[in-house]
Chain A
C-alpha cells in the first residue's frame, strides 16, 4: 500500500507543479538580487539574503528561509488536505477500503507519502537554489572553484567548512520536514473530518495563519511556546557557531506533540467513521 501511495504521488503531475512552484520563488529572488546587487538591510528580509551576495553556496539556506513561511506549508497543507478527503470525493477511498486496505494502513501510507513529498520538494529547492546561487553569486572570494564552495560565513561571524555546511543543510532538511509533518498532521486530521479536500486544506491553513498572528502578539505570550509555528524558523540556529539547540529541541518537541495528538485524533475519527462518499 505504501509503494502504491508513493507511486500515486510521483505519477501525479500536481506533485511536480507544486515542487516547481517552490523552486521558482528562490530563483526569482536570486535573479532580482543578482541584477540589482541590492541586499535587504541586515535584520530585514529573509535570513541569509545579505550573506548570499558574498557567497552563493549559502543560497540553499536562504531559499529555505524564503519558502518556509508560506509556500511550503501551503503546498503541504494542500496535499495533506487532499489525501483522504480527495480520495473520498473521487470515490476511490471506498475501493481502497474494500480491496481491503485497513483504515490504519491508509492513514500511515498517506503520511509516508506526505513525508516523501516534503523531502522531494525540499531536495528540489535545495538543488535548484544551490545551482542558482553558485551560478549567479559565485562561491565568494577569489577562488572560483565551481562545485567546491569555499568556507561560508555563519551568522555568528565564524567560518564553517563546506562539509559543515552540508551537514547543517541536512539537519535543516530534517528539521523543516518535522515542522511540515506538524502541518501535515493538522491537514490530515481535517481531511478525515470532511470529504472536501479544499475545506480541509483551508482549515489547516487557517490554523497556521492564526498561529502565525498569535506568535507576534505579546498578549499571547503565555501560549506562544505551544503554537505550531512558533519554532518554525529555529533551524536558522543550525547556522550559528556553536549551534543553538534550545529552540530546535523545543520545536521538535512541539511538532511531535501535534503529530501524535492530531494523528491519534485522525485515526480515531477515521476508524469509526461511516464512509458514505
Chain B
C-alpha cells in the first residue's frame, strides 16, 4: 500500500526525515509513533505529494509519488496536521465544495455521500452553523468525514483524535476499526501511545527523522519470558524459586519463567497465596522509550 525506500527530506541543515523505509501492507492498521518534531508530519506530507522529497522513492497504491500522485489521491482519504475548513461556511457546504473540487466524486449522489459521511463521524445533526462556531472536536470529526467521503482504499490520518474527549476517541477508534474491516488500509500517525496500542496492528516508531522500529504490534508485545507476580508471601516465593526471582519490589516479583499457568500451579501447590500473576509483556511505551533518544521539543542548556 505504502512503500518508501531511503526517503529523505532536508530543510537546510535540518534532516527532517532521514532514510525512512516504510512498509504499510494492504489491510494494515498502521500506527506511526514518535515524539513531536520527529518527522511524522513531513513524512505524511511527502506521501501525499505536498512536500517533495530530497531523495528516496515513494510508492503509494503501487504507483510512484509524486510523479503519478494524481492517479493515487482519488483513492486516498487523508487528514494532515489537523482539519481545515472554510470558517464562514457550514460543515455540510464545506464537504460539498471539497467533493466538487476534484475528481472521483460524482455529482448525482454527492448530497447522499456527504450525509452518510457526516452520520458516520457523528455529525448527522449539524445545522447551518458556520464552521467557525464548531468546537475543536467537531472540526476533527468534520475532517474525518471529508477523508471518508469517497470510500477510500487507503486512509492517511495525522493525529486523528486530537481535540476529542475520551468518548469521542473511543468512537473514532471504533469507526476506524470498522472502516478497516471493510477493506480500507489505515495509516495513522500519533504521539499518543495508548491510541496506537488500542487501534493498530502494526507499529512504526520515528525518532529524529529516522524510522527506528517497524514491527507487528503482537510481536513487539510478545511475552518477554518472564512472569510478573504479586503475592502476600514474597519471602517464601524467593526461598522456593531460589535464583528464579529477577527483581523484587515489595509484594511484586519478577520471575524468569515461560509459563505463568505452570508457575501458578507450583506456587499454589506449595501453599503460597497468589494475588496476581501473568506473563510480563513489554508495554508499547517501553518499546518507544527504548527506541527513541529524547524529546525533540526539549531545549537543553548548552
Contact assessment for A8 and B50 in the assembled complex, using a CB-CB cutoff below 8 Å: no
**A interface footprint on B89-117 (CB within 8 Å = 1, 0 otherwise):** 10001000110111100000000000000
Q: A3-B100, A94-B50, A101-B101 are in contact. Are A276 and B45 (CB under 8 A)?
A: yes
Which residues of B sit under 8 angstroms from A13, Cβ to Cβ? 88
Contact assessment for B69 and A100 in the assembled complex, using a CB-CB cutoff below 8 Å: yes
A65 to chain B, nearest CB (A): 34
Q: Would you list which residues of chain A between 76 and 97 have a CB under 8 Å from chain B?
A: 90-92, 94-97
Interface residue range, chain A? 20 to 34
Q: Tell me whether chain B's interface is mostly helix, strand or loop, or mixed.
A: loop
**A218 within 8 Å of B by Cβ?**
no
Partner of B84, one of A90, A101, A272, A276: A90
**B48 within 8 Å of A by Cβ?**
yes
Nearest B residue to A13, CB-CB: B88
**A4 within 8 Å of B by Cβ?**
yes
Contact assessment for A91 and B102 in the assembled complex, using a CB-CB cutoff below 8 Å: no
Partner of A95, one of B87, B88, B98: B98
Contact assessment for A1 and B70 in the assembled complex, using a CB-CB cutoff below 8 Å: no
Interface size on B, residues (CB 8 A): 31
- In angstroms, Cα B82 to Cα A77, docked, is 29
- In angstroms, Cα B104 to Cα A98, docked, is 12
Q: A274-B52, A275-B50 are in contact. Are A95 and B84 (CB under 8 A)?
A: yes
Contact assessment for A99 and B51 in the assembled complex, using a CB-CB cutoff below 8 Å: no
Q: A1-B101, A3-B100, A4-B101 are in contact. Are A98 and B48 (CB under 8 A)?
A: yes
**B73 within 8 Å of A by Cβ?**
yes
B141 to chain A, nearest CB (A): 15
A-B Cβ contacts below 8 A, count: 73
Contact assessment for A8 and B51 in the assembled complex, using a CB-CB cutoff below 8 Å: no
Contact assessment for A100 and B74 in the assembled complex, using a CB-CB cutoff below 8 Å: yes
**B49 within 8 Å of A by Cβ?**
yes
**B85 within 8 Å of A by Cβ?**
yes
Q: Would you list which residues of chain B between 58 and 89 have a CB under 8 Å from chain A?
A: 69-70, 73-74, 76, 78, 80-89
Contact assessment for A274 and B88 in the assembled complex, using a CB-CB cutoff below 8 Å: no
**B146 within 8 Å of A by Cβ?**
yes
Which residues of B sit under 8 angstroms from A97, Cβ to Cβ? 48-50
- In angstroms, Cα B98 to Cα A99, docked, is 7
Q: Which residues of A contact B (CB under 8 A)?
A: 1, 3-4, 7-8, 11-13, 90-92, 94-102, 272, 274-276
Known A3-B100, A98-B48, A98-B76; further 12 A-B contacts with Cβ < 8 A = A4-B97, A11-B88, A90-B84, A92-B86, A94-B84, A97-B48, A97-B49, A98-B49, A274-B51, A274-B52, A275-B51, A276-B45
| Pairs across A and B, CB under 8 Å, 13 listed | A1-B101, A8-B97, A12-B88, A13-B88, A92-B85, A94-B48, A100-B102, A274-B45, A274-B50, A275-B45, A275-B51, A276-B42, A276-B45
